[in-house]
């Protein structure tokens, strides 16, 4: 039987969420996130992607390792990489915070936040609003929501927690036509196509070409101001 990477990752992530929910201070996370975001500039990632600058709109990613590539670079400084990305013209920085499979942490996001004024995308396997609040407190401007990881109701609730409650952008990641429809039905403003199948970790670059052709005209979408294409994703 072939290995299902997504199943394994989500099983571990549920344990992480349960631990977060069991901590005494978890009930305060939402209020802390709301307080931090009260004076924050909303929807910075969306605005960066909408910029009329002639530069390509690149979200540069900080990732320590992955299940497919293994360790990417040992001992790397997230701050140094963030500085390089900013000098290179990135419009935003994505930070992998999953520890078990990608070697990241919320500390990486905090470090990047302290070193750059670029919009920051919190990239993890989000299953519960408590993770959205944690990301906001750490300084994220946007969160990744993976359609394959949650059901329709959770996808809608997580998007609303991010965008409507906190003014974060929610980048909804899809890999199939069905997931694209679910993202649109959930009210997604930003949709990212992942060419990697998260169950098998196989990559097909044709995925984004096929799915982008299925996206309705922007005039027919709720706040459909930008689209983000990922060549390889996770």
Q: What is the pLDDT along the chain (234 residues), one digit of tens a residue?
A: 678 999 999 999 999 999 999 998 888 999 999 999 999 999 999 999 999 888 899 999 999 999 988 999 888 999 999 999 999 999 999 999 999 999 999 999 999 999 999 999 999 999 999 999 999 999 999 999 999 999 999 999 999 999 999 999 999 999 999 999 999 999 999 999 999 999 999 999 999 999 988 988 643 333 333 333 344 445
DSSP assignment letter at 98:
-
Q: Which two tokens stand for residue 202?
A: 């196989």
Domain 5-230 has CATH 3.20.20.70: yes
Question: Is there a contact between 46 and 169 (Cβ–Cβ < 8 Å)?
Answer: yes
Taking the model in full, what pTM does it have? 0.90
CA angle 187, 108, 18 (to 5 degrees): 65
- Name 84's Cβ contacts closer than 8 Å, sequence gap at least 6: none
* Helix segments in 139-203, DSSP class H: 152-159, 166, 177-185
- Give Cα separations from 201 to 3, 82, 144, 204, 234 (angstroms): 10, 26, 18, 10, 8
Q: What is the pLDDT of residue 217?
A: 64
Indicate the domain borders of the chain. Answer: 5-230
Question: Is there a contact between 200 and 7 (Cβ–Cβ < 8 Å)?
Answer: no
- In terms of C-beta density within 10 A (0-12 exposed, 13-18 middle, 19 or more buried), how is residue 164 classed? exposed
Q: What is the pLDDT of residue 231?
A: 41
- Alpha carbon distance 98, 131 (integer Å): 11
Q: What is the pLDDT of residue 234?
A: 54
């Amino acid at each position: 039987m072939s290995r299902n990477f997504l199943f394994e990752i989500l099983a571990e992530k549920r344990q992480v969420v349960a631990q977060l929910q069991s901590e005494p201070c978890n009930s305060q996370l939402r209020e802390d996130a709301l307080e931090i975001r009260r004076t924050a500039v909303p929807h910075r990632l969306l605005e960066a992607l909408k910029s009329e600058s002639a530069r390509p709109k690149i979200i540069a990613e900080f990732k320590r390792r992955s299940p497919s590539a293994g360790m990417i670079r040992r001992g790397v400084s997230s701050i140094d990489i963030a500085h390089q990305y900013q000098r290179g013209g990135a419009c935003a920085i994505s930070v992998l915070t999953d520890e078990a499979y990608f070697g990241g942490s919320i500390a990486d996001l905090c470090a990047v936040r302290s070193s750059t004024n670029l919009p920051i995308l919190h990239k993890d396997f989000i299953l519960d609003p408590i993770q959205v609040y944690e990301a906001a407190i750490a300084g994220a401007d946007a969160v990744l929501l993976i359609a394959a990881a949650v059901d329709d109701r959770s996808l809608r609730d997580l998007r609303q927690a991010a965008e409507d409650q906190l003014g974060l952008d929610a980048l909804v990641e899809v890999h199939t036509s069905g997931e694209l429809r679910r993202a649109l039905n959930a009210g997604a403003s930003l949709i990212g196509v992942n060419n990697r199948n998260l169950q098998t970790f196989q990559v097909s670059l044709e995925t984004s070409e096929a799915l982008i052709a299925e996206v309705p005209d922007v005039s027919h979408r709720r706040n459909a101001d930008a689209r983000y294409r990922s060549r390889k994703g996770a």
